[in-house]
Chains A and B, each alone.
Chain A
Amino acid sequence: MLSKVYTAAISGINAYPVTVETDISHGLPAMYTVGLPSATIREARERVRSALINSGCDFPMQRITINLSPAAKRKEGSHFDLPMAIGILASNGSIESSNLKDAGFFGELSLDGRLIAVKGALPLAMGMKESGVRRVVFPAANAAEASMVNGLDIIPAYNLSEVVAYLMGKKKIIIYNNEKIVKNEDKFDMDFSDVAGQYAAKRAIMIAAAGGGHGIYLSGAPGSGKTMLARRIPTVMPELSYEEKLELTKIYSISGLLGENEPFIEKRPFRMPYHAVTPAALLGGGHIPKPGEISLAHCGVLFLDEFPEFDKKIIELLRQPMEEGEVSVERADGRVTYPASFMFVAAGNPCKCGYFGDSAHRCICSGNELRNYQSKLSGPIADRIDIQVIVEKAQAEELEMRGEIGAAENSARSATIENTGMGRSDCLRSSAAMREVVSYALDVQKDRYKNESDALLTNAKLTGRLVAKYCPLDSSGKELLRNAYEKLGISARAYEKVIKVARTIADIEGEENIRDFHIAEALGYRVLDRIYRN
């Protein structure tokens, strides 16, 4: 007899519906799985057999053929165990087939019949919903994650016999209710108030975040606090929207990075790949495609520490994803696309020994070493870094004062933009205050670009034509920029970048037009062009 059970399979970060067709016919006992199953699915035969027998069900001693339809798409994942087991029972007549029409099934089986959590529960549930299924059986450990989808009943189960009893109407399973989940909101366990001094770097970071993610490079001696600053960048970015959370959770779900205690991603991610990272780990890939670091940093920060140590080829690979905000992985049987819209943050020492330009230490690098090191920073990717800033170590007094400010500042702060925007160091004391400024600037941009085709346009993403349209300069600004262009030797691309950064600075200050001092500050963020030229 033939039976049909509904499930889904992952492709990229989305899922498509799959029908598990099971046919039991006369013949020598055997079980065949067709429909391009991966090795995991072919091995399901042994798990399903043992799980059925150990759950007190019959395993038919006949010829069992299972087809995963659509048959032409390669399928991957351990979540096919449960639908296959249910398919066999339905074919066998143990379960009424009419009970399966509006239901979807996911779950990996242990040999004793227990249901084990699967990867990608959220995208799978979303895929099921689109195919018109009303209720979905999931391993209990996946229920919280899957319940993020609205309008779908999630039925949490612990083992196979429970599912069978439920389908036979012998047992009721209560639909999972996600109101009980404690949301950990976007509370960070770190704050910019932990960082003593560093006002210049903090302001640069605030500007970078306020422009919707200008690329930023932090240059400084070892131990000056580059990494500490970078780690705190997500704390000043605005809260994630529901759509962003959903997309991020999908990415983390298929990567198997969600814990049972953390079923959703609520915070902007911070990813820090090591400089020996492989192309596949960075961009995504592998025999069965998997998202890479740049997708895990989606909506958050991708931080490349010791940037000059990275292989040039690896850095070049980042160009296209950075421009497009997504990355495509090509495979013989199709291409998958992962979102990868991140804020690019890099840090490095100014030279090999680390003390070039430092006031307290002498740099011991030779001229050749210096040139070698610096050549690693040039090139097309460096052109994509809008803001370059030097991180100097904090003064002793600033280190002593740390902590005192943080506590006092956080409790007393209810300042509005009008008095934080203009004050230079005032709004840099804590992440909350910086975030207020960032959100304000982003709102200004949202309003300004509301008529553009790309609804999510920000200053950082402006292209040539749009720069001309939205960033007019007054005569003194033009003159300043022309002087800089001719005398400081900044490149044509950098010229445009300066204008974009100046636009963001003006937005932070609440100014309609870009003024000459905005240009001057933006020019100040081209330090690499300057120090390495001398």
Chain B
Amino acid sequence: MNERGKLGKEGEDRACAYLETCGYRIVERNFRCRSGEIDIVAAEERGGIICFVEVKTRRGCAFGLPKEAVDRRKQRKLCAAAKYYMLCHREYENCLLRMDVVEMLHLASGIYVNHIKGAFGEVS
């Protein structure tokens, strides 16, 4: 795995750990289908919510914040993948759905995590 891939993988691991400490249960990681990939599928059991989480990791802000990289095109792909996931897992039929973004910033001073709940809705 190259340098960039490693950073991404590391970011996703940290995000999982972070979500677990926040009370989420990690249901699935790196769900892949034709229309795209979902980094993390997490469940917030209290509220009966299934969260589709996109993790974005960056080393600095020279190219903008990590969350800015989740643009319309990316959102559309994530929604399509989420829909496909719901078709494959009818057991979650009655859950509420949410699209989240977790942004990670690896800086010299430390690692910053920001969890954006309900970052976007279905994109037409």
Contacts and interface: CB of A to CB of B under 8 A. Distances in A.
B93 A30 contact: no
Interface residues of B, number: 15
A29 interface: yes
Contacts of B124: 30
A28 B121 CA distance: 6
A29 B93 contact: no
Contact of A61 (B79, B83, B97): B97
Nearest to A45: B121
Contact of A29 (B83, B94, B118): B118
Contacts of A28: 79, 82-83, 97, 99, 121-122
Contacts of A26: 93-97
A30 B97 contact: no
Interface string A21-49: 00000111111000000000000000000
Interface string B69-98: 000000000010011000000000111111
Which label, helix, strand, loop or mixed, suits the secondary structure of the A interface? loop
Nearest to B117: A61
Contacts of B93: 26
Q: Determine the interface band of chain A, counting residues with CB < 8 A from chain B.
A: under 10
A62 B121 CA distance: 9
Interface string A84-110: 000000000000000000000000000
A2 to B, nearest CB: 17
Contacts of A31: 121
Given A26-B95, A26-B97, 7 more contacts: A26-B94, A28-B97, A28-B99, A30-B121, A61-B49, A61-B97, A62-B97
9 tightest A-B contacts by CB?
Answer: A30-B122, A29-B121, A28-B122, A30-B121, A28-B97, A61-B118, A61-B98, A28-B79, A61-B96
29 contacts: A26-B93, A26-B94, A26-B95, A26-B96, A26-B97, A27-B97, A27-B122, A28-B79, A28-B82, A28-B83, A28-B99, A28-B122, A29-B97, A29-B98, A29-B99, A29-B118, A29-B121, A29-B122, A30-B124, A31-B121, A61-B49, A61-B96, A61-B97, A61-B98, A61-B118, A61-B121, A62-B96, A62-B97, A63-B122
Interface of B: 49, 79, 82-83, 93-99, 118, 121-122, 124
